[in-house]
């Protein structure tokens, strides 16, 4: 294996380094904080909180407050507007990252610098090293459904783009992918093309052209892989025709993409025939990926959290190819690597890299109907197995004690660093009464009802919800798009099932006394979620980042309008009489 790594990194060395760091996680955290605070000692933000050059963990948590993005927004805006004084960091920030905004309906500006690119590479290398032990790959290519968003200049002239685009444009990214033997099979013109529909089509085409070399199919989030193969179902004949004739479909209009593809696409009737036959032989596209890519070793992407609902479909496309869940991070920086790749994706855990940031955890204790009670944050190595926490990040790019808004559960330790399971985003579903359902609860309820649909050979394409407070009492509305038609009786049964599948005691008791109204299930026209995706892409979000918002609030009025305009029928639950 190592010879094949050319002069890249040595995975065994990466593992050795990670093992050493995690055996000493407490000290590494102390040193990492010291380094962050030293490098940024001139930052006005740190001076303001009176750190006076102190770099120890105790002074840090006493002086510097916990913040959310909202608290830092005015400062980040000043940086984006071109302020030259050291506001959050010692060295000037030159790039801004745009978070997806898919969970809260609003894109956030986050400072970005080379350190974040480097930590991204560290996490990529770490999980690859562990993955490669279990699932070794030879030299080849990856079919990566990745997209560079348009970058733009902020008022102050800083480059702004999504975190993934900032990373994909970096020289380190290409080098790391090459070292990992999985350079992307598509040319840059496709990855950075201005129209994602055209890029997606060409990713698929490149994948087919290089089908024998494809070792890995990947994307940042699993949704994008499922979406890509759903698109394949619609365009496969056109793809075959392009390969047969060596002429690119007229649907590709971007000149740079056409030029780049012309260098790759040559007439190959034999290949076109083979793919055509394989597609025709499949039953309902089961095992599509396995059939199309004979040498693929695994499918890789984030499959946890809001991606879990897509796993069923992904497994269907994958056939016998293993699904490996990717790491845990955010626009604000990476957190943990999946170093146990053989676990089923739903069970994936993330071992925190103690040297890429300073991490604290706010314990979230379940206090019954009062909801979750937060207590003082604890350090990385002081977390308890079985407990849930909100993650707090201090990074090298000007975020100090920043509440990420994610809930994680500690499920064990890798040496002395915790292994986290992603639970959900915090506070996604606003309470109507004393209910405290999370997006995870919603997902489980929808999954329970989806089983009733499965009996009808139907599947939930996607779903979201709204907490409707305009009715008295307020009630939950679930929107879902289904792959075909079912009878009213089936949908009514599904509606009752979702309502009664919520296990939260606050919800159940409120429903029983009608303090929360009957749940409403609204079925949507086919293609509604594609319209929502297009809406986000129109706002500059890329498919890499896209996470379907599981509860749409009033700030997200455009999405709410798309949903409401596409309702086919509405069903009211009678689950609680």
Residue 329 or 517 with smaller CB distance to ligand AMP: 329
Element (H, E) at 424: strand 417-425
Cα distance between residue 295 and residue 185, in whole Å: 14
**Number of chain residues interacting with ligand AMP (CB under 6 A):** 15
Minimum CB separation from ligand AMP for residue 480, in Å?
Answer: 21
For Cα atoms 108, 528, 305, give the angle at the middle one, nearest 5 degrees: 50
Q: Write out the two tokens for 20.
A: 């050493």
Minimum CB separation from ligand AMP for residue 236, in Å?
Answer: 30
Sequential DSSP letters for 458-470? --EEEEEEEEE-S
Minimum CB separation from ligand AMP for residue 402, in Å?
Answer: 11
**Cβ pair 454, 490 in contact under 8 A:** no
Q: Is 99 in the site for ligand AMP (CB under 6 A)?
A: yes
Q: Is 305 in the site for ligand AMP (CB under 6 A)?
A: yes
Cα distance between residue 230 and residue 222, in whole Å: 13
Minimum CB separation from ligand AMP for residue 547, in Å?
Answer: 6
Q: Is 425 in the site for ligand AMP (CB under 6 A)?
A: yes
Cα distance between residue 310 and residue 463, in whole Å: 11
Q: Is 341 in the site for ligand AMP (CB under 6 A)?
A: no
Q: Write out the two tokens for 418.
A: 């915790």
Q: Is 533 in the site for ligand AMP (CB under 6 A)?
A: no
- CA-CA-CA-CA dihedral for 460, 466, 470, 471, to nearest 10: 40
Residue 380: closest CA among 340, 335, 435, 320: 335
Q: Is 349 in the site for ligand AMP (CB under 6 A)?
A: no
Exactly one of 117, 122, 330, 510 binds ligand AMP (CB under 6 A); that residue is 330
Residue 139: closest CA among 185, 176, 182, 187: 182
Q: Is 542 in the site for ligand AMP (CB under 6 A)?
A: no
Q: Is 76 in the site for ligand AMP (CB under 6 A)?
A: no
Backbone CA torsion sign across 192, 198, 201, 202: negative
Q: Is 545 in the site for ligand AMP (CB under 6 A)?
A: yes
Which segment (180-188, 289-297, 329-337, 429-437) binds ligand AMP by CB under 6 A?
329-337
Minimum CB separation from ligand AMP for residue 335, in Å?
Answer: 8
Q: Is 313 in the site for ligand AMP (CB under 6 A)?
A: no
Minimum CB separation from ligand AMP for residue 310, in Å?
Answer: 12
Q: Is 426 in the site for ligand AMP (CB under 6 A)?
A: no
Minimum CB separation from ligand AMP for residue 473, in Å?
Answer: 30
**Cβ pair 256, 262 in contact under 8 A:** no
Side-by-side strand order, sheet with 152-153: 109-112, 95-98, 159-162, 152-153
Minimum CB separation from ligand AMP for residue 329, in Å?
Answer: 5
> What backbone torsions phi and psi does residue 417 show, to the nearest 5 degrees?
-100, 140
Q: Is 518 in the site for ligand AMP (CB under 6 A)?
A: no
Task: Decide: helix, strand or coil at residue 410.
Answer: strand
Which segment (46-54, 242-250, 325-333, 428-436) binds ligand AMP by CB under 6 A?
325-333
Minimum CB separation from ligand AMP for residue 510, in Å?
Answer: 27
Residue 200 or 335 with smaller CB distance to ligand AMP: 335
Cα distance between residue 368 and residue 364, in whole Å: 12
Give, as one character, the DSSP assignment of residue 538. H
- Encoded one letter per residue, x for contact with ligand AMP by CB under 6 A and - for no contact, window 149-178 reads --------------x---------------
Cα distance between residue 78 and residue 394, in whole Å: 20
Residue 469: closest CA among 553, 362, 360: 553
Cα distance between residue 233 and residue 220, in whole Å: 21
Q: Is 404 in the site for ligand AMP (CB under 6 A)?
A: yes
Q: Is 421 in the site for ligand AMP (CB under 6 A)?
A: no
Distance linking the first and last C-alpha atoms of the chain? 64
Which segment (65-73, 114-122, 258-266, 302-310) binds ligand AMP by CB under 6 A?
302-310
Q: Is 147 in the site for ligand AMP (CB under 6 A)?
A: no
Which segment (269-277, 309-317, 323-331, 356-364) binds ligand AMP by CB under 6 A?
323-331
Residue 118 or 346 with smaller CB distance to ligand AMP: 346
Which segment (59-67, 241-249, 327-335, 567-575) binds ligand AMP by CB under 6 A?
327-335
Q: Is 302 in the site for ligand AMP (CB under 6 A)?
A: yes
Q: Is 422 in the site for ligand AMP (CB under 6 A)?
A: yes
Q: Give helix 222-245 / helix 196-209 axis angle, nearest 10°.
A: 70
Give, as one character, the DSSP assignment of residue 454. H
Minimum CB separation from ligand AMP for residue 260, in Å?
Answer: 28
Q: Is 510 in the site for ligand AMP (CB under 6 A)?
A: no
- CA-CA-CA-CA dihedral for 90, 93, 97, 103, to nearest 10: 40
Which residues of this protein are in contact with ligand AMP, per CB under 6 A? 99-100, 163, 302, 304-305, 328-331, 404, 406, 422, 425, 545
């Amino acid at each position: 294996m190592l010879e094949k790594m050319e002069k890249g990194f040595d995975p065994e060395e990466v593992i050795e380094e990670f093992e050493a760091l995690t055996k000493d996680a407490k000290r590494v955290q102390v040193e990492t904080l010291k380094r962050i605070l030293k490098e940024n000692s001139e930052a006005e933000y740190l001076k303001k909180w009176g750190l006076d050059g102190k770099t120890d963990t105790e002074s840090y948590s006493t002086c510097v407050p916990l913040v959310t993005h909202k608290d830092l927004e005015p400062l980040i805006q000043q940086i984006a507007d071109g302020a030259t004084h050291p506001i959050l960091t010692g060295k000037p920030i030159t790039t801004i990252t745009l978070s997806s905004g898919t969970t809260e309906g609003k894109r956030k500006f986050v400072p970005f610098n080379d350190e974040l690119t480097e930590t991204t590479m560290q996490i990529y290398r770490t999980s690859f090293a562990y993955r490669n032990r279990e699932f070794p790959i030879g030299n080849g290519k990856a079919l990566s459904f990745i997209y560079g968003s348009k970058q733009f200049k902020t008022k102050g002239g800083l480059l702004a783009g999504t975190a993934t685009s900032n990373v994909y444009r970096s020289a380190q990214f290409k080098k790391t992918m090459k070292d990992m033997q999985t350079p992307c099979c598509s040319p840059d013109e496709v990855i950075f093309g201005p129209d994602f529909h055209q890029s997606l089509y060409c990713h698929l085409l490149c994948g087919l052209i290089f089908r024998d070399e494809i070792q890995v199919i990947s994307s940042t989030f699993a949704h994008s892989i499922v979406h890509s193969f759903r698109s394949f179902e619609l365009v496969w004949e056109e793809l075959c025709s392009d390969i047969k004739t060596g002429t690119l479909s007229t649907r590709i209009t971007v000149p740079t993409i056409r030029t780049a593809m012309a260098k790759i696409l040559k007439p190959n009737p034999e290949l076109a025939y083979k793919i055509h036959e394989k597609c025709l032989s499949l039953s309902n596209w089961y095992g599509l990926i396995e059939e199309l890519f004979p040498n693929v070793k695994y499918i890789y992407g984030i499959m946890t959290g809001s991606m879990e609902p897509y796993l069923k479909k992904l497994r269907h496309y994958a056939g016998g190819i293993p699904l490996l869940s990717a790491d845990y991070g955010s626009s604000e920086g990476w957190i943990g690597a999946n170093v146990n790749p053989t676990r089923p994706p739903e069970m994936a855990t993330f071992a925190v890299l103690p040297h890429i940031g300073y991490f604290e955890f706010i314990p979230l204790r379940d206090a019954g109907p009062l909801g979750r009670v937060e207590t003082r944050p604890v350090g990385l190595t002081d977390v308890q197995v079985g407990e849930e926490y909100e993650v707090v990040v201090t990074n090298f790019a000007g975020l100090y004690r920043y509440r990420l808004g994610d809930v994680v559960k500690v499920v064990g330790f890798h040496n002395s660093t915790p292994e986290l399971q992603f639970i959900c985003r915090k506070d996604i579903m606003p309470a109507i009464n004393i209910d405290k359902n999370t997006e995870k609860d919603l997902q489980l309820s929808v999954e329970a009802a989806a089983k009733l649909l499965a009996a009808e050979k139907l599947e939930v394409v996607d779903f979201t919800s709204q907490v409707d407070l305009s009715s008295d009492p307020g009630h939950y509305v679930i929107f879902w798009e289904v792959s075909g038609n079912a009878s009213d009786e089936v949908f009514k049964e599904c509606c009752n099932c979702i309502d009664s599948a919520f296990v939260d005691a606050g919800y159940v008791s409120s429903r029983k006394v009608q303090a929360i109204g009957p749940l409403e299930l609204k079925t949507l026209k086919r293609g509604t979620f594609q319209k929502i995706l297009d809406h986000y892409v129109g706002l500059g979000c890329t498919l890499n980042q896209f996470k379907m918002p599981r509860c749409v609030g009033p700030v997200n009025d455009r999405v709410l309008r798309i949903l409401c305009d596409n309702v086919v029928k509405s069903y009211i639950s009678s689950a609680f009489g």
